[in-house]
A and B are shown apart, each in its own frame.
Chain A
Amino acid sequence: MAIMSKEYYADIESVYKKPEDYELAGKGNAYIRIDAEAKVTGSAVYTDDVDLPGMYYCKLVHSPYAHALIKSIDFSEALKLPGVKGVLTGADFPEGHNLGNPEAFKELADKEPLCRKKVRMVGDEVAAVCATTEEIATQAAALVKVEYEVLEPVLDPFYSMQPDAPAIHYPGTSNLSIFTTMKAGDPDKVFAEADYTDKHYYRTQQMVHAAIEPHGAVAKYENNEWTVWTTTQGAYVSRYWIAWGLGVPESQVRVIKPMLGGGFGGKLDVFAHELCPCKFAQMTGHPVKCILKRDEVFMCTRTRHPISFEIESAFTKEGKLLAKRCKHILDGGAYGGSGIAANTLSLICATFPYKVENIDMTARRPYTNHPASGAMRGYSACQVHFAHEIHMDEVANALGIDPLELRRMNEITPYYTGPTGLEFTSCKFDECMVAVADYIDWKHRDRYPIGSGQGVGLSGSGFMSGTGFPVLVTPHYCSSSTIVRLNREGYAVVFSGANDIGQGCDTVMTMIVAEELGLRMDEVKLVQSDTTATPWDAGSFGSRVTFLGGNACRRAVGDAKFKLLSHWAEEWGCKPQDITMKDHRVFIKGDPEKNISYNEACFGYEEKNFGRCVAGVGSFAHEGDKDIYVKNVGNYATAYSFSASAAKVTVDMETGAVTLDDFAFGHDCGRPLNIRAVEGQIEGSVLLGFGFTCYEECVYDKDGKHLNPSFRDYHFPTALDMPKIKTFVCSEYDPEGPMGAKEAGEGSTAPVGSAIGNAINYATGLTLKELPITPEKLWRALREHEKTGKTVFGAEDLPEKFANMPPLPARD
């Protein structure tokens, strides 16, 4: 589907700089991050650095039970403490104003700002206290006495769906928060006739984002308006849900996103720690701050969905992928929020990066009494590509085909349209795959005999570049807008709603404007992510910021540029497209008479237009439909990125310890606008993927209590654990991307786990179907293999669990 607004923006796009004239975009060392100085010197202002006069502090009271009814809350002791200024319960917020994520699925919003009658996870917020200091607030929170009636916790997602399981939210719904199907072709017929069919099971664990900055918010109430500084990945979406949760119009809430110390998907939803300070600020007339402690971040924010997989595939004996059936069971935890997109993403990714015309896939997301699962970098893709790409090697080995060739034989090619309507544009998957395989010397992989303790593994993946879904209901599905003002004093201001969460989009937006106007980076001033000062943007998620926000930004600067150049074209008797903006000058190439400074150009425009300044407005939409989240028909994103990984590992066969010796990553991100940022994203992705594969897991006891909610006990890899990483950017200009770019933040996490997993499997001669592969788990498998000869480990309980699932409910 063509982007419908292209015609509307045709004039504006006609004055865009041509790729051969780029001086910044894609030039590795042409510019540096605009936030580098502030971050390196420590002067950057994060949410916790916002200190206002007379500020009070808020602390939340959490449930110690995973599933319980609240019988009573007694604040009497807490209120006796000098310095305590107020307390809150669920009854202080309007009933029925539950928090969720997509406005279009508001009926699925299920989280009360503070629980009224029932708690659904350990850490669920039941009350809040406000005091003059953080210490007093902490003491007061500990003095709040809550009486509970404890209910049976539901911790197994398969049990949760059974008719006899206690209802977590709504009785009679099999505890399903959402289910999604994706069907095409005639898979039953193909399976019946295929040379090769199989059925395999896999499972991934729960992990967390572990952003170094904990969640927090500061709220102020003045002139009947709330101002909220908060750790959000989307100021506008947060504003919507904060206003809804408070029961006030959006016009009375201003959300400002200060610097953010990482999001990774964990800061998309709105939480009690944002609503409670707002309420307290109104009650007390003082600004109120609430910053979560690390254990609160672990328990009360979001996690990555654990997924259980049943995968069936049908191939010809030559290796052509004919059909895939799969069932994905996602442990949704206690709430929906941004988590409800996980199903769809899991199914779309299950087809990537291959052509498969016959599919029958379902994903169910039952609630459990675990912490709420939500969006996380490489959303669903990390889990899905682990299972499906380990599976790909199992198929290759069963068919006696080189796993590299099996992948190449079935890979997506440029401008392919999938059977459910996914429309691919540029695709350099093959180049990525070949580059990493060459680097790791895949051809000579036999030099590491199977079971020798050393091995290499490959994996491929794809991801959506620019989730079109705008979260809130917007005109024409618009998901990003930008305003650019040109100033006759020699600079430009870009008012960007894009939310920099550490990934560097502030720099990219600044660069796009500087590139188009021929200004220096420091001549472009950025006003960012403030619902009063900047226009609408849906947020940083779904690998959409560079693609959608970048396009909106380019159209905004294009609009201003077109106005300016149209004026000078008239003066100079030429077409706007004949005029160049470069080195702070506006000129016609080769004509020394028609060559003025940027300042003169703006001044002249304003002279002619009665002092009116040059400003441009731009927006970008991927015209989609919310139905894709339940029926999965149509195109999900404007473009798709592709990645491939190759890992070399050494396994200590006595201890089970895995050393990642070498890692190669090939990524197709279109034209990389900031090569160093792309490399940084890829290196971070390898760290995340390695942690996912070998280190990280949230561990719970039988009552649903989190046993390792700290950075001491929840292990992610350190710099010393990291391998050297070789990055290959295999790109071509994407026709729809801003200056040809596609995403580079999330898809890059997707193939890491399975490349490492496949390498471990070859190194040990085992097949490991469950993450994480910790030293002890691998040691256990190796010892058992020695004793019994068993070779396949993990997910042993899943065949029975999948066989005993209740049928899917009927779709309304």
Chain B
Amino acid sequence: MRKDVLIAGFGGQGVLLAGNLLSYAAIDEGKNVSYFPAYGVEKRGGSATCTVVIADGAVGSPVVGQPSVLVVLNQASLERFGARVRPGGILIVNSSLVDVSALGRSDINVVPVAMNDIATDLGDPRMVNMVALGAYVALTDAVQLPSLVAALSQALPERNHRFIPANVKAIETGAEAAMAKKEA
């Protein structure tokens, strides 16, 4: 088993935290993982991406040219990476902010999830990354949902542990939303 995902958005959307959380969960499941971040010098804004590879055997390249799954949180990331998704792969897109109509790819499975709307409904738009991650895990089984929930205490600094219940809810809601789209 070797799974790779590129998560991309703008700085401040929690892309790196999402990648970290996924990696912690995979490590707790005994898998091999590489997490490779790339981001601008800005604290907010600019581009933020991370590539996570999860494997039973050797991870190999932490750099992925054609990800099997791309999660895009903003329009710029779709334009930059949309063409790169491996044929037959999955594009999970934050349809609250991103318009995929001009993408022109019929060879991949596009799953729109209104991540910002869902996160806002749950009380905080900043949980958009958790909604995205829930959707990713539901669609790919890269890790088990309970592993992701259990890893929150490792990925978040202690001062933010009080937000764990809300984040769990965001992960679960993202997962449900993605499954509903998949079945639709």
Q: Do A and B bind each other?
A: no
A positions within 8 Å CB-CB of B: none
B positions within 8 Å CB-CB of A: none
